[in-house]
Amino acid sequence: MTVPNPLQGDAENKSVVATPITRQEQTASTEVMDRRSFLKLLFLGWAAFAAVAAGFGTMLLRYLFPNVLFEPKQSFSAGFIGDYNVGEVSERFKKQHRVWIVRDSEKIFALSTVCTHLGCTPNWLPNENKFKCPCHGSGYYRTGINFEGPAPRPLERFKISLSPDGEIIVDKTVKFQQEKGEWSDPDSFIVT
């Protein structure tokens, strides 16, 4: 004897059981889910799914923010003015802080070592007196102005200042862009 499936309609059962109305069939038809309880279950199911998805979502979002961030300090001391010769491009802090310290006849400024085209690190070529990017050939003068290759704008300069005891402090959280006319800002260089 087959046990009627409550979810299957009457038509199916009639074909299996020959007698028109049996007790078993009556109980079966009452067990067929009505619209209200079906919607309830559906709602419950989707609510559970949404809750799980939301939980995983928040976990994923949380994962994007690391517990500990090993970043070098955004501002650092770059020694004294006397450490730099006039006309020198210093690569002392290139590796650790990604900054060139440049001194010309009047001032000292800090140049970012990130190419403004696609973010490679250009090389300082003392013989040719220019920065040259190995990725797409952008070239910059020692001032940071772009003059060859695809770089759309000059290198960025960082905030540079003197501490009370005469040390040079470079603050990378503040940057100055030439195309916005920010290089005349007194924070962007130290007069020597």
Partner 1 sequence: MEAFKDFVNHVTRPRVLFPLLLVFTVLMFPPNEILFKINKKLRLYKLWTRMGGIIFFSLMIAFFAFGLTDPNFKKIVTKPDNVPIVGLLFLVNFFLWVSMKQAYENDARMDEGKESSEAGDAKEKVLVWPDLVYIEFISLILCTILLMVWSILLKAPLEEPANPTVSPNPSKAPWYFLGLQEMLVYFDPWLAGVVFPTVIILGLMAIPYLDSNKKGRGYYSFKERKMAISIFVTLWLLFWIFLITVGTFLRGPNWNFFGPFEYWDVNKLEVLTNVNLSEYFYMIWFKRQVPQNIILRELPGFFLMVSYFGILPPLLAKTLFRNIFKNLGAFRYSVFVVLLLIAASLPMKMFLRWAFNIKYIIAIPEFFFNI
Cα–Cα dist 112/102, whole Å: 11
Of 22 and 129, which has the nearer Cβ to partner 1? 129
Cα–Cα dist 120/5, whole Å: 68
Site for partner 1 in 93-152 (CB under 8 A): 94-95, 98, 113, 117-118, 120-123, 125, 127-128, 132-137, 139, 146-150, 152
Of 96 and 163, which has the nearer Cβ to partner 1? 96
Of 38 and 147, which has the nearer Cβ to partner 1? 147
Cα–Cα dist 154/156, whole Å: 6
Please, what is the minimum distance in Å from the beta carbon of residue 99 to partner 1? Answer: 10
Of 155 and 190, which has the nearer Cβ to partner 1? 155
Nearest to 189 by CA among 113, 112, 108: 108
Does the CA dihedral 34-37-41-43 come out positive or negative? Answer: positive
Please name the residues in contact with 62: beta carbons below 8 A apart, sequence gap of 6 or more: none
Of 142 and 190, which has the nearer Cβ to partner 1? 142
Q: How far from each other are the two terminal CA atoms of the chain, in whole angstroms?
A: 103
Please, what is the minimum distance in Å from the beta carbon of residue 92 to partner 1? Answer: 12
The torsion angles phi and psi of 185, rounded to 5 degrees, stand at -60, 130
Please, what is the minimum distance in Å from the beta carbon of residue 140 to partner 1? Answer: 12
- Residue 175 as a binder of partner 1 (CB under 8 A): the answer is no
Q: Which segments of 37-129 are extended strands (E)?
A: 75-80, 88-90, 99-103, 107-112, 123-125
Please, what is the minimum distance in Å from the beta carbon of residue 107 to partner 1? Answer: 24
Please, what is the minimum distance in Å from the beta carbon of residue 153 to partner 1? Answer: 5
User: Using CB under 8 A as the criterion, which residues of the chain lie in contact with partner 1 when the complex forms?
Assistant: 94-95, 98, 113, 117-118, 120-123, 125, 127-128, 132-137, 139, 146-150, 152-153, 179
